[in-house]
């Protein structure tokens, strides 16, 4: 079984996120999403998520491409995760291109093109205007 992992906050889930998850799943048979916890968002990513971790997890688990959701608590858990879950391929959007190449020692590393024209920031901005 080919296992794929990806990481993110996935807040105000939009089709850009879903397209990423769809393409990630196409790279294997089993997709794990390491979902940034509220604490990780606040303390380390300095990102304010609208939905709580549990709400974001609930939404992700309803997506047919997603097989498992685990917490992302720290920037430095990726090597451990890849080994612990026997990951074949690590996937991120290409806004992260190159940032996780150190994982090439442990698994395939794939950066997929981001979906243009959509982002949580844009959604929030457009809703306010
Ligand atoms: N994404 C995308 N297209 C968009 C917006 C996002 O393909 N229009 C992708 C991002 O590239 C990322 C995933 O969707 O791979 C999740 O996006 P975020 O929740 O913004 O992820 P981020 O906050 O960058 O967290 O340790 C890694 C971090 O947790 C990544």
Write the pLDDT tens digit of every residue in 22-75. 999 999 999 999 999 999 999 999 999 999 999 999 999 999 999 999 999 999
Residue nearest to atom 7 of ligand 1 (CA): 114
Please state whether the predicted TM-score (pTM) of the whole model is above 0.95.
yes
Token pair, residue 89, equals 């391929």
- Is 104 one of the annotated active-site residues of the chain? no
Tell the residue nearest (CA) to atom 9 of ligand 1. Answer: 93
For ligand 1, is residue 8 a contact (CB within 6 Å)? yes
Alpha carbons 59 and 113: distance in angstroms, whole number: 23
Distance in Å, CA 17 to ligand 1 centroid: 7
Label residue 76 by pLDDT band (50, 70, 90).
very high
Give me the domains of the chain, ranges plus CATH numbers.
3-128 (3.40.50.620)
Residue 71: per-residue pLDDT: 98
Exposure class string for 60-72: b at 16+ Cβ within 10 A, else e? beebebbbebbeb
Catalytic one of 2, 47, 99, 124: 47
Among protein residues, the one with the nearest Cα to ligand 1's atom 16 is 8
Q: Are 24 and 10 in contact (CB under 8 A)?
A: no
pLDDT of res. 48:
92
Compute the distance between CA of residue 66 and CA of residue 25 in angstroms, rounded to an integer: 7
- Residue 16: per-residue pLDDT: 98
User: Which letter does DSSP use for residue 104 in this model?
Assistant: G
């Amino acid at each position: 079984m080919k296992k794929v992992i990806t990481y993110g906050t996935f807040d105000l889930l939009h089709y850009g996120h879903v397209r990423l998850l769809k393409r990630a799943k196409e790279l294997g048979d089993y997709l794990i999403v390491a979902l940034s916890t509220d604490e990780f968002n606040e303390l380390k990513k300095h990102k304010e998520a609208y939905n709580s971790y549990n709400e974001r997890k609930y939404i992700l688990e309803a997506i047919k491409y997603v097989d498992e959701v685990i917490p992302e608590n720290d920037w430095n858990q990726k090597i451990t995760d890849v080994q612990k879950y026997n990951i074949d391929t690590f996937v991120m959007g290409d806004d992260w291109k190159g940032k996780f190449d150190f994982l090439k020692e442990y698994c395939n590393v794939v950066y997929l093109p981001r979906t243009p024209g959509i982002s949580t920031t844009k959604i929030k901005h457009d809703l306010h205007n």
